[in-house]
Structure 1
Amino acid sequence: MVSGLQVPRRGLGLGAAALLAMGAAPVPAPVAIPRSLYWDLPVGEGGWRVQVGWPETEPPPSGFPVLYLLDGNAHFGTAVEAIRLQARRGDVTGVRPGVIVALGYPTDDAATIMRRRQRDYTPPAAGAPPGSGGADAFLDALAGQVMPRLAAAFPVDAARQAIFGHSYGGLCVLHALFTRPGLFARHVAASPSIWWHDTAVLHSARRFIDHPPPGTAGRGVLITVGGLEQPPPGPVAPGEDAHTGRLRMARMVDRARDLAQRLAEMGENGPQVEFVTFAGETHGSVVPAAISRAMRFVFPAEMGR
């Protein structure tokens, strides 16, 4: 037993209790994901924690495709297992191996993470709330510091890099698409917070649609949303709770669908667009489904897709 650590017998599972009875007390140790590492990057206030997971297979001649994952503290493990499970049977799933790069923070404090992601993932906008609007600085650091370091350490395909974000992260993905479409080949905006600051991101969307920047055509955009992220249409029920009222005002499903439709209408001058609604999923529960679906979009076995 580790010195100074008391392992309580009450509440242990039967297996652990049996081990204790045999004198083989479990020794606490961090859980490690095979073929993964992390480094801390001195960026902004408090720095970033960059986690990387890579396949066990040999890289193709052009290198592995890459998915940059926002909210890395929460989503790294889910994404790594999703790509490994799907790529294992690529002949069935249509998914090939790739590298996951999760961008997070070197802390477990939820309040700190929430404050930092609100700043890093929201775009600059006139009159935006204090502590927001840092998406350009975030994307600059990603492109200028993380991407070069990854390319120096791993065989990656610079032409097949993608970005995934959920909620505020999805908002950041849209901002990246509208302002620097050449940075990523594929963009996955899961439950994007289009409602933020009176739908400020839609101003960028209109400019993007009316005057597509160079590098827009042929880029890929997947927008997803949970079916329960917006109450059904109809009159407001008497005594509706505040949370349901906020969902109604945010119009998560309608706004995600409308934006996907407008982008699709750009035709050959615009990106290739997919839109998916996950029935029965809330804003939180939809994340694993969105990550799973993103793997087929970001890592397709067909090289030309």
Structure 2
Amino acid sequence: MPVPPSPQATRRALLATGAGASLGLLVGRASGGMAAPAPLLQAPAAQLPGTHQQDLRDPASSRTWRVWVQRPAGPVPGTGHPVLYVLDGNAAFALAAQLARNDATRPPELRPDAAIVVGVGHPGDAVIHPAERQRDYTPPPPGGRATAEAGGAQVLLDFIARELQPRIAQAFPVDAQRQTLSGHSFGGLCVLHALFTRPAQFTRYAATSPSVWWNQGQVLQTAAEFAQNHATAPRAFQARLQLRVGGLEHAQAAATPARAAVQAERRLLERTEALARKLTALAWPELRVQMAVLPGLDHGGAMLPGLTDALALAQQPR
């Protein structure tokens, strides 16, 4: 008589069958005499509806940035569409664009104004471009100029001002008083540099886990100069600053000694909180500061909730 299979053999056979069925979804196989469907991974690439992508060369600097634009998913508000400019577009644009599209599905009484989302990133399919991020998002050294490795924040901000913002304003009815720049980490550092050196280019600034430690805390000195330069009213800008930082971004919460050493050196949580206190103490009606610590989140984990809050900031009424 044949020996019945052991329970272990039966389990292995079932697992093999399940794996084969899953694999068939990806590669395609015949079933019941029917022709096999085309392999899923050979199907056309998925696209985000209402989104356009283009590599733009800056005539002034000869640098090229990849730009994404999400069309507003809703009617034109009376004052025009708010615009959210998202740095690190390779990593963050699709998230922000989908969040904006989701708003269009909410009940009318809960639906915020439809926003235009513009991503600014780098050519290529990598999620993060470390060398280009450091080049483009860090401020030039005091009294110095940008190099091929760092200090190019002014170059990028000039490109946005000269090339990108006029293109968006030409393509859509935009609200000039609701222009938001958002960024995380080095991108957040660039956001702060923009506020402190050209506060009228945007009206709203969202910096999540900004790299305030860069170059011995250079941006904190820039903040002090900003306060001094605009100490006397009237001030030719109206700005809102939203600061977000993860509650775990300090040395005591680090899981490993190496990470603890990095966080102790950078002191990102403590420095960001101190910056928020100093800016709030100015009590300028032209500058509104809102700071929040995101509990239980580390540096990378803060990006998504910071982006969600940045979109909400962009959509806030005037």
Work out whether 1:231 is the aligned partner of 2:246.
no
- Measured in 2, the distance between the counterparts of 1:110 and 1:291 equals 16
Greater CA radius of gyration, 1 or 2? 2
- Measured in 1, the distance between the counterparts of 2:21 and 2:227 equals 58
What letter is aligned with 1:29?
P
The counterpart of 2:119, out of the listed 98, 102, 107, is 102
Residues 265 and 282 from structure 1, CA distance in 2 versus in 1: closer, same or farther, beyond 3 angstroms?
Answer: same
| SS, match of residue 193 in structure 1 | coil
Q: Could you report, residue by residue, the CA deviation over 1:124-177 in whole angstroms, capped at 9, with x for unpaired residues?
A: 114798611111111011000011111111221222111001101100000000
- Measured in 1, the distance between the counterparts of 2:238 and 2:169 equals 23
Residues 203 and 53 from structure 1, CA distance in 2 versus in 1: closer, same or farther, beyond 3 angstroms?
Answer: same
Q: Could you report, residue by residue, the CA deviation over 1:166-214 in whole angstroms, capped at 9, with x for unpaired residues?
A: 1011000000000110111100011000000000111110011223276
Deviation at 1:84, TM superposition (A): 2.3
Kept in 1, the 8 Å contact 2:73–2:104? The answer is no
Who is 2:242 aligned against?
Answer: 222
- Measured in 2, the distance between the counterparts of 1:221 and 1:12 equals 52
Residues 17 and 38 from structure 1, CA distance in 2 versus in 1: closer, same or farther, beyond 3 angstroms?
Answer: closer
Work out whether 1:79 is the aligned partner of 2:96.
yes
Deviation at 1:120, TM superposition (A): 0.8
Work out whether 1:186 is the aligned partner of 2:204.
yes
Kept in 2, the 8 Å contact 1:82–1:291? The answer is no
TM-score normalised by length of structure 1: 0.85
Work out whether 1:136 is the aligned partner of 2:154.
yes
Query: Counterparts of 1:41-56 in structure 2 under 5 Å?
Result: 41-43=56-58, 44=61, 47-56=64-73
| SS, match of residue 13 in structure 1 | helix
TM-score normalised by length of structure 2: 0.82
Deviation at 1:14, TM superposition (A): 6.9
What letter is aligned with 1:168?
F
Deviation at 1:248, TM superposition (A): 1.4
Of 14-23 and 71-80, the range deviating more from structure 2: 14-23
Residues 11 and 228 from structure 1, CA distance in 2 versus in 1: closer, same or farther, beyond 3 angstroms?
Answer: farther
Residues 270 and 205 from structure 1, CA distance in 2 versus in 1: closer, same or farther, beyond 3 angstroms?
Answer: farther
| SS, match of residue 232 in structure 1 | helix
Kept in 1, the 8 Å contact 2:208–2:243? The answer is yes
- Measured in 2, the distance between the counterparts of 1:143 and 1:70 equals 14
Deviation at 1:96, TM superposition (A): 2.4
Who is 1:20 aligned against?
Answer: 29
| SS, match of residue 273 in structure 1 | strand
| SS, match of residue 47 in structure 2 | coil
What percentage of residue pairs aligned between the two structures are identical? 37
Aligned residues: 289
Work out whether 1:33 is the aligned partner of 2:53.
no
- Measured in 2, the distance between the counterparts of 1:163 and 1:96 equals 17
What letter is aligned with 1:54?
R
Who is 1:209 aligned against?
Answer: 227
- Measured in 1, the distance between the counterparts of 2:63 and 2:21 equals 37
Q: Could you report, residue by residue, the CA deviation over 1:25-51 in whole angstroms, capped at 9, with x for unpaired residues?
A: 323322110011012111346511110
Deviation at 1:276, TM superposition (A): 1.2
- Measured in 1, the distance between the counterparts of 2:250 and 2:109 equals 34
What letter is aligned with 1:220?
R
Work out whether 1:177 is the aligned partner of 2:195.
yes
- Measured in 1, the distance between the counterparts of 2:67 and 2:227 equals 33
Who is 2:5 aligned against?
Answer: none
| SS, match of residue 196 in structure 2 | helix
Who is 1:256 aligned against?
Answer: 272
- Measured in 2, the distance between the counterparts of 1:15 and 1:268 equals 63
Who is 2:289 aligned against?
Answer: 273
Work out whether 1:297 is the aligned partner of 2:313.
yes
Deviation at 1:93, TM superposition (A): 5.8
Give structure 2 stretches of 5+ with no counterpart: 1-17
Work out whether 1:245 is the aligned partner of 2:265.
no
| SS, match of residue 138 in structure 1 | helix
Deviation at 1:55, TM superposition (A): 2.2
Kept in 2, the 8 Å contact 1:216–1:269? The answer is no
- Measured in 2, the distance between the counterparts of 1:227 and 1:294 equals 18
Kept in 2, the 8 Å contact 1:38–1:50? The answer is yes
| SS, match of residue 59 in structure 1 | coil
- Measured in 2, the distance between the counterparts of 1:99 and 1:33 equals 14
RMSD: 2.7
Deviation at 1:298, TM superposition (A): 1.5
Who is 1:4 aligned against?
Answer: none
Give structure 1 stretches of 5+ with no counterpart: 1-8
| SS, match of residue 88 in structure 1 | coil
Of 37-46 and 285-294, the range deviating more from structure 2: 37-46
